[in-house]
Structure 1
Amino acid sequence: MTRDNAAVLGKLSDSGQMVESPDEDVRGRTVTDSDGEDIGRVEDLLIDESERRVRFLLVAHGGFLGFGETKSFVPVEAVTRVTDDQVFVDQARDRVAGAPVFSPDLADKPDYYASVYGYYGYAPFWGTGYINPGLPPRGHM
């Protein structure tokens, strides 16, 4: 992805699109870290509008009853397993808490996406040879 052919990413909830099967919609599920600790919840999915692929989870964490929550993106590459009520990621809770904070003003900027991928140590989806992992099947290990 270069500045000239940057993908347009948007929240699934704003797109008018739907997840093919309600069982595959991970929004609202608890995000659990690599140590089994709860991080927060999947608030939304950031999708590549042209390819109709999930690129990031928007994770709300911290705060109390929705007050003081911080939101950050977690690349879909970090997802290791999905169950009926949880999404497991290969990152520690503190790592997700320290990620670049979500800001609607930055969420459509390629440099911001690059900083998120760099922070987590994944190659960005626009890189040469990238293969989209998608979300793993439910219960997959």
Structure 2
Amino acid sequence: MASSTISSKDVNGSTVYSPDGQHLGHIDHLVIDKMSGQVAYAVMGFGGFLGMGEGHHPVPWRKLTFDTKLNGYVTDITKEALQGAPDRPHDWQENRDWATTFYGYYGIAPYWI
């Protein structure tokens, strides 16, 4: 039986795909809530060429599902939705007002609710 856990070092760099198998980007790193221990966001890198001009946006962890056949994560978030995501304030990791708006943008309740 395959393990249901994964090290964060193995998540970083994982490819993210659309439901139809289109490459959307990769997971740059995870943001973990220090108090609950839950993964709050996966910061996804997308676009650019050879690392130049790449955009980085947080994606709610619950919007990603691991696909063993693709050996990567699948999301229903479109490339256009990633590009149109709400801008992050400088304090985005601690800003619950922004995070509530951000989770709402992706159509899910925040992880802390």
Band the TM-score falls in, shorter-chain normalisation:
0.7 to 0.9
> Which amino acid letter does the alignment assign opposite residue 61 of structure 1?
F
Q: Which structure 2 residue ranges, 5 or more long, are not aligned?
A: none
Query: Of the candidates 68, 72, 78, which is equivalent to residue 86 of structure 1?
Result: 72
Q: Give matches, 1:65-84, under 5 Å.
A: 65-83=50-68
Q: Which structure 1 residue ranges, 5 or more long, are not aligned?
A: 1-19, 128-141
Alignment size in residue pairs: 108
What RMSD, in angstroms, separates the aligned Cα atoms of the two structures? Answer: 2.3
Residue 21 (structure 1) shift:
4.6
Partner SS for 1:90: coil
Cα separation, 2, equivalents of 1:103 and 1:67 = 22
In the alignment, structure 1 residue 32 sits paired with structure 2 residue 17 = yes
Residue 65 (structure 1) shift:
1.2
Cα separation, 2, equivalents of 1:94 and 1:111 = 23
Report Cα offsets for 1:85-127 as digits up to 9, x if no partner.
4111122222222222445443321122112101100011222
Identity %: 34
Contact 1:60–1:70 at 8 Å: present in 2 too? yes
Bigger relative contact order (CA 8 A; separation at least 6): 1
> Which amino acid letter does the alignment assign opposite residue 86 of structure 2?
P
Residue 61 (structure 1) shift:
0.7
Partner SS for 1:28: coil
| Stretch of structure 1 that moved more, 33-42 or 83-92 | 83-92
In the alignment, which residue of structure 2 is the partner of 1:64? 49
In the alignment, which residue of structure 2 is the partner of 1:51? 36
1:107/1:30 Cα in 2 relative to 1: closer, same or farther (>3 Å)?
Answer: same
1:23/1:115 Cα in 2 relative to 1: closer, same or farther (>3 Å)?
Answer: closer
Q: Give matches, 1:92-107, under 5 Å.
A: 92-102=78-88, 104-107=90-93
Contact 1:42–1:58 at 8 Å: present in 2 too? yes
